Amino acid sequence: MTLETVSENRSFGGIQGVYRHKSQATGTDMTFAVYLPPDTQAGKVPVLWYLSGLTCTHENAMTKAGAQQFAAEAGIALVFPDTSPRGEGVADDDAYDLGQGAGFYVNATQNPWSPHFRMWDYIVEELPALVCDNFPVDAQAQGITGHSMGGHGALTIAMTHPDRYRSVSAFAPIANPTESDWGRKQLGAYLGEDRAAWQAHDSTLLMAERGYPGEVLIDQGASDQFLDLLKPETLAQAMMARRQPGWFRMQPGYDHSYFFVNSFIGDHVFWHAERLA
């Protein structure tokens, strides 16, 4: 698979790169970013996937989260994928929370979304294979995290594939999309009206059904303006009912912005690095 280098910049002794390729999963060109810490000069390193939220691209977390300095210190690579297929001929919607920029990390089965919106296959299968073939990262030491819609994706993917992701965390995840306006609209559009098909993409339901074999770390801003849409209490309750090992931290005064993510990204990078070592 041909990989085009868009840019590469020195960062904390490592390299922050942006790359483009033709995706078989989405049938479009896809852009993603990879940060390689200085430790890659000596060999392969663990890799942490960061899934972004609504309206974001690969660039948001790459430039706003401030994760590179911690990844350099911890000796862990970072991958920042895009949030949806894009380009001419790709279905879209006037609303910010549907269509391009809002793939919700599912494989769409409904028109007009199904030809290109196959973000589950892209994130779980295609892009990891591409990254592991082209960069010095350890395929056996992968963790996953994300923010908002990306937190939803990280949790659902990790609980579905616990053998592949040795660590999982999330920032302000959309925790119960089957019961939220951030979820019912999108899952209905992408997957149809059979609510049984939605359940595999709801972290609260997955937590109640199967949980995660390791520890889980979740940070949620207590002053998040979208709490009613995120429904963090449902996931916290499911974790307690299951006695899931981990931490669910309500951070007083923090909202939903990247100022929140930036404040705690170091905790998450080091937390993953410890479990992937």
Q: Which residues are catalytic?
A: 148, 224, 256
How many other CB atoms are there within 10 angstroms of residue 252's CB atom?
7
**Cα separation of 222 and 226, whole Å?**
10
Q: Write out the DSSP string of 95-149.
A: STTSBTTB-TT-B--STTTTTT-BHHHIIIIIHHHHHHHHSSEEEEEEEEEEBTH
Total count of residues recorded for the chain: 277
**Cα separation of 213 and 220, whole Å?**
22
Q: What are phi and psi of 40, to 5 degrees?
A: -65, -15
SS3 196: helix
Element (H, E) at 230: helix 227-230
Round to the nearest angstrom and report the end-to-end CA distance of the chain: 29
Cα–Cα nearest to 3, from 184, 151, 132 = 132
